[in-house]
Amino acid sequence: MQVATSLSYQETMLKNYVPIFVMVPLLRLTMFWKTDKLVKDLKELRAAGVDGVMIDQYDWSAYRSVFQAVQDCGLKLQTIMSFHQCGGNVGDVVTIPIPKWVLEIGESDPNIFYTNLKASIHFIKVTYTLIVLLQIYSDYMKSFRENMSDFLETGLIIDIEGGLGPAGELRYPSYPESQGWAFPGIGEFQCYDKYLQAEFKEAATVAGHPEWALPDNAGEYNDTPESSGFFRSNGTYVTEKGKFFLTWYSNKLLIHGDQILDEANKVFESCKLKLAAKVSGIHWWYEVDNHATELTAGYYNLKDRDGYRPIARMLSRHHAILNFTCLEMRNSEQSADSKSAPQELVLSGGWRENIEVAGENALSRYDSVAYDQIFLNARTNGINKDGQPKLRIWGVTYLRLSDELLQKTNLDTFKIFVKKMHADQDYRPDPEKYNHHLGPLKRLKPEISIEDLLEETKAVEPFPWDKETDMSVSGEAGGLLGLVSNLISKIFSVFK
């Protein structure tokens, strides 16, 4: 009888289990990566209780041996279909250029690249005029499925994330460090190539305003909102013209994400995995009315308008996970002049659309303050001792594997974090044990009209969050670690 009670309690706690994945640094997967070093690090992660790793995919030359190493170590794999350039974004430590085939197309038509008002071009977009690129994306994913079919069949790969924009995120490249952007600049709109200018002119004409043009008063990368005519108080963004532009601009991003995921869904249909899409945690200027940095990135989010729920609704069509960044950040850690509020960037939009939500930390952190904040976002109302929490994220991807993470003090703290994220349960290799069902990927649902997506923009109250987590790393490790972690957090905020 006692054994039955113990098993029942264990099964209940497993419903609170959140798996942990660790992002493998891109540097390890270039021609200079060392197999023995990677295998040693993977074994360290497995010994720490980690469930799996995340890897960006750019080509297949070195990846089969890497995948085999991951599988041999007993880890699961999240993989990113990387259609984006690496280098020039926040946190990039290695440069992997846009693929040669893209650059070749760009040589004959530079308007395929995102363009700001000054005609600085970078990155790639997909429009109806470039259907050939969608076909190439599709062929790329088909090649992956063919070359990695054995790993797909064994269940090694549990989710595939579509590379939808800079750093893989569904957003415009509105704040690129390679173009001189620095935090907390508002960024710039990226829609001034000839194709998007023509599309906007056509849309404005249909709406009865052929005289409307794209904004020419939205400032530059490192401006503040009030220094621009578009974002200042009672600026263009609140006018009929401004609202029309912002709706059109954000809709183009939704269509882009839908197109790429459409191809992914077709390619990986019937595979036992999930699709995923990453949404950036743009927290600076969140506390001002205009939310300028979110708007330039394509998230039309204001106090009275939900810019994230339409994205979640689009993802629901593809049975996709919404992967959200900056889980570790607290409002108190941010500089006052950036008007940041990362804790307000809640995950409610995904849950309200009944899709799975996952998350990542935005910056590498090794302290209990950051870990405790991740707990709070992962299980917003804490452990449910009666069963599965109403709100529990699908998984946490930790950024990232490094020698610093594997340093003894940091690794010891990380092990506690992993154990607590597992609700104090031992590692489970079978996702079914913690209620993660990975059936064959279903056919995509019928296309959702833009009009239906826009119905989701009505602002509603977010789900309630607990003020503090009931699973604390500092509490487990002792008071001294908590004091040290709080000191680290304060030092960290000084340099923000």
Q: Domain containing 348 — which CATH number?
A: 3.20.20.80
> How far is residue 267's CA from residue 262's CA, in Å, rounded to a whole number?
9
pLDDT at position 84 over 60 = no
Out of 96-110, 182-196, 212-226, 357-371, which region has the weakest mean confidence (pLDDT)? 96-110
Please report the pLDDT score of residue 337 as a whole number. Answer: 94
Please report the pLDDT score of residue 82 as a whole number. Answer: 76
From the list 169, 188, 263, 333, the catalytic residue is 169
Residue list for the binding site for substrate: 56, 84, 92, 278, 283, 325, 361-362, 400
Please report the pLDDT score of residue 128 as a whole number. Answer: 39
Q: Is 360 a catalytic residue?
A: yes
Question: Residue 85: helix, strand or coil by DSSP?
Answer: coil
Contact 80, 168 (CB under 8 A): yes
pLDDT at position 277 over 70 = yes
Percentage of residues in the chain with pLDDT exceeding 90?
65
Taking the chain, what is the end-to-end CA distance rounded to the nearest angstrom?
A: 55
pTM over 0.85: yes
Residue range 47-52: average pLDDT?
98
> How far is residue 260's CA from residue 262's CA, in Å, rounded to a whole number?
5
Radius of gyration of the chain (CA): 22
Contact 239, 41 (CB under 8 A): no
pLDDT at position 174 over 70 = yes
pLDDT band at 460 (very low <50, low <70, confident <90, very high): confident
Please report the pLDDT score of residue 59 as a whole number. Answer: 66
Tokens of 295: 């708007």
Tokens of 453: 């997506």
Asked if the peptide bond before residue 97 counts as cis, ω within 30 degrees of 0, the response is no
> How far is residue 361's CA from residue 396's CA, in Å, rounded to a whole number?
8
Q: How many domains does the chain have?
A: 1
Average of per-residue pLDDT values in the chain: 87
Distance of CA 295 to the CA centre of its chain: 17
More confident of the two residues 296 and 97: 296
Domain membership of residue 31 (yes or no) is yes
Domain membership of residue 108 (yes or no) is no
Phi and psi dihedrals of 208, rounded to 5?
Answer: 90, 15
Which residue type does 54 have?
Answer: M
Residue range 441-452: average pLDDT?
90
More confident of the two residues 462 and 183: 183
> How far is residue 452's CA from residue 449's CA, in Å, rounded to a whole number?
5
Residue range 8-14: average pLDDT?
87
pLDDT at position 103 over 70 = no
From the list 161, 353, 356, 360, the catalytic residue is 360
pLDDT band at 96 (very low <50, low <70, confident <90, very high): low
> How far is residue 56's CA from residue 252's CA, in Å, rounded to a whole number?
25
Percentage of residues in the chain with pLDDT exceeding 70?
84
CA distances in angstroms from 192 to 121, 199, 200, 432, listed in the order given: 9, 11, 10, 48
Please report the pLDDT score of residue 121 as a whole number. Answer: 59
pLDDT band at 1 (very low <50, low <70, confident <90, very high): very low
CA distances in angstroms from 378 to 17, 204, 312, 346, 489, listed in the order given: 10, 42, 18, 11, 20
Domain membership of residue 131 (yes or no) is no
Contact 301, 294 (CB under 8 A): yes
Out of 84-93, 160-169, 278-287, which region has the weakest mean confidence (pLDDT)? 84-93
Render pLDDT for 295-317 as a digit per residue (tens, 0 to 9). 999 999 999 999 999 999 999 99
Question: Residue 272: helix, strand or coil by DSSP?
Answer: strand
Render pLDDT for 461-488 as a digit per residue (tens, 0 to 9). 888 889 899 989 987 754 444 445 545 5
Please report the pLDDT score of residue 99 as a whole number. Answer: 63
pLDDT band at 13 (very low <50, low <70, confident <90, very high): very high
Domain membership of residue 416 (yes or no) is yes
Please report the pLDDT score of residue 406 as a whole number. Answer: 97
Which residue type does 274 have?
Answer: K
Render pLDDT for 413-423 as a digit per residue (tens, 0 to 9). 999 999 999 99
Domain membership of residue 87 (yes or no) is yes
Render pLDDT for 320-367 as a digit per residue (tens, 0 to 9). 999 999 999 999 999 999 999 999 887 788 899 999 999 999 999 999
Domain membership of residue 208 (yes or no) is no
pLDDT at position 495 over 60 = no
pLDDT at position 292 over 50 = yes
Domain membership of residue 118 (yes or no) is no
Please report the pLDDT score of residue 86 as a whole number. Answer: 56
Which residues lie closer than 8 Å to 458 by C-beta, 6 or more apart?
305, 306
Which residues lie closer than 8 Å to 172 by C-beta, 6 or more apart?
114, 165, 166, 189, 190, 191, 253, 296, 297, 298
pLDDT at position 47 over 90 = yes
Domain membership of residue 121 (yes or no) is no
Contact 56, 80 (CB under 8 A): yes
Range of the domain at 335: 2-92+136-176+255-494
Q: Where are the alpha helices (DSSP H) in 323-457?
A: 348-352, 368-378, 408-421, 450-454
pLDDT at position 144 over 70 = yes
> How far is residue 71's CA from residue 42's CA, in Å, rounded to a whole number?
10
pLDDT at position 430 over 50 = yes
Please report the pLDDT score of residue 129 as a whole number. Answer: 42
